[in-house]
Each structure stands twice: as C-alpha cells, then as structure tokens.
Homo-oligomer: A and B are copies of this chain.
Amino acid sequence: MAPATNGRVIFAKVPKDFPVPGETTVYDTTQTIDIDGVPLSGGFLVKTLVLSVDPYFRGKMRTPEKKSYFPPFTLGEPIESHGVGVVLRTDNAEVAVGKYVYGMIPHQEYSIFPNMQRLNFIEKNPKLPWTVFVGAAGMPGQTSYYGWKELSQAKKGETAFITAGAGPVGSMVIQLAKRDGLKVIASAGSDEKVELMKQIGADVAFNYKTTNTREVLEREGPIDMQIHPKGCRYWDNVGGEILEAALDNANTYGRFIECGMISGYNTGPKGIKNLNQIIQKSVTMTGLLVFRFHDKYEKEFYEVVPAALASGGAEKGSNTGKAVVIVAED
C-alpha cells in the first residue's frame, strides 16, 4: 500500500497575544507514513480518533525559557493533548491490535508510541461517542469530579456559584451540585449557554455579559462554594471582577475552588483587591489541578462516570462548549 498522508498540526510560532491559526499553528500535510510497514521498534502504531482542544494550550505556546508547571509545546513539532486512538499494529504483546487508548496524543493522524507510559486503555461504550471521553468522561469531567470529591465539602442546602457553567467542567459541576442537593447559581457568556445551564438544573442562571454578577450574588447568595473553571483568567478583567464579587458575597467558611488551566503569563492591569474577605469570612481558596488527584480518584471516575453518562442521567450539555477535533471515524 502506498504511504498515507499523516496530517499534523504543527506549533509554528509563539503567539504575541492571541494564537493565529495558520501562523502560530499550521496544518501540515507533507509527512507520509507507511501504515503497514513503518518499523515499530517494540512500540505500537495508533490511529487518532478524537483530540481535545483546551484553554491551557495557550500556556504551552511559549518559549521553553518561560517556567511553568507544564512543559511547552515544541516548535516545529505537532502540538499534543488528551485524545483517544485505536491500535492498528503492535510489537508489544501487552498492547493488542484493536485496543482503545486515552492519553496525551500528538495532533496527527497516526502516531507510534514506544510504550503505554502516557496512555491508558479505555473501554468503548456503545452509547457514548468518543468525543465524550475527552469531555465529560475525560480530563474536564475528572477536574469536576475530583474537585467536587476532594475540595467542595458540599452540604445539602448550601449554595454554589459556578462560572463558565456551560463548559465541560462547569456543566458537570452543576450536575454534581444538584445531585447533592445544593442551590446552584451559574453564569456563562451567552443566552444559549444560560438556557443550557437551566436545562441541566441550575436554579439561577445568567449571562455575565448582560447581567451584573454582583447584583445576582447579593440577591441569591451568600455563596458557600465557588467553582471557577476559568480561574486562569484573572488577567482578564471580567474574571477578576467576578472573583471579587464572589468574595464579597461569600458565606462564612466558604470554599473557593480555582481550577482550569492557566495562561503562561498574566498581563492584566488589575489584580484582586478584596482578599481581606478571605480573612473576614474564613474562606478557604484552593487551586485544583486535575492531575494531582488521578491516583486517588481515577479508578472510581471510570467506574462511575461513563456509565452514568451512558444511562442518560447526566449527559445533557456535559460536552457543550468543549472544543474537540474528530480526526477519524472509529
């Protein structure tokens, strides 16, 4: 068989501010791969099925000198992110052809992996498309689930304020909060998203671009818990103002969970000026990074969440706002 094109998304240039597709990343079709003959050297060949596209990409589009808790993308090489693939050929007896794998996958149609170090096997669920496994049943869903289990200390009757509530993290948190009997206040940036947040159970849902967050929280609070999936965005004025409003309307012993991935820089003109509220209200603010809790909750997550999603109990909207690339049909 003639070599196949191996389409790739290359990290071509560090962005000045916003990434520019075609310039900072380039779709490249010059590489080919001999699917049947390429040497595997003890590894295995994976066909990419779906890839996640996440806000944290911006933080990885940097020069290697800039320090961060995660490594940068490599200039001239494909970007990579969470994705799902299927094993086409193998030199490794423990990785059978036809197995599905989830983990960090380069943004290219075919990849050779030397081992399973950055991958896990996952089981196909006939009721769920693979896209769900990079959303509600993938890293964003894990962020919600781990954070809820580890940090929320949720009690029935409390009030939670969830920003970015129509995104893959926030929508899952709304559902976890409603399941546990909390009142949910949720915000997002469009009326469609507001509608969605209501459908999945938010008691109070509003568009922060057209409604004053502070007024909503003053009316519907105080809030016992805040989950800010775009915690990263404090350099963005809106994020800062929302956190300030949330702190001003925190209940005593409020838990503030700052999650989401982070821009590699913070350039905004304004900081958070009312951290004294943390003292006044005995608030605990904790940073949540999903990978800190994999060891503790990953097994439970895969036992519980895909089945719950497949049963229809929680899937509504859980993948909305999640950008994915469907690379190939399974």
Contacts and interface: CB of A to CB of B under 8 A. Distances in A.
Interface of A: 68-69, 231-232, 234-235, 240, 243, 258-260, 262-263, 266, 268, 270-289, 292
A147 to B, nearest CB: 11
A282 B273 contact: no
A288 to B, nearest CB: 7
A281 to B, nearest CB: 7
A272 B266 CA distance: 11
Contact of A289 (B262, B270, B282): B282
A276 B240 contact: no
A235 B279 CA distance: 14
Copies of this chain, complex-wide, total: 2
A243 B273 CA distance: 12
Contact of A262 (B243, B266, B272, B279): B279
Contacts of A276: 231-232, 234-235, 262-263, 266
Nearest to A262: B276
A282 B283 CA distance: 16
Nearest to A228: B279
Contact of A275 (B258, B263, B283): B258
Contacts of A259: 279
Nearest to A293: B282
10 closest A-B pairs (Cβ-Cβ)?
A271-B271, A279-B287, A271-B273, A278-B287, A285-B285, A284-B286, A271-B272, A262-B276, A282-B287, A69-B280
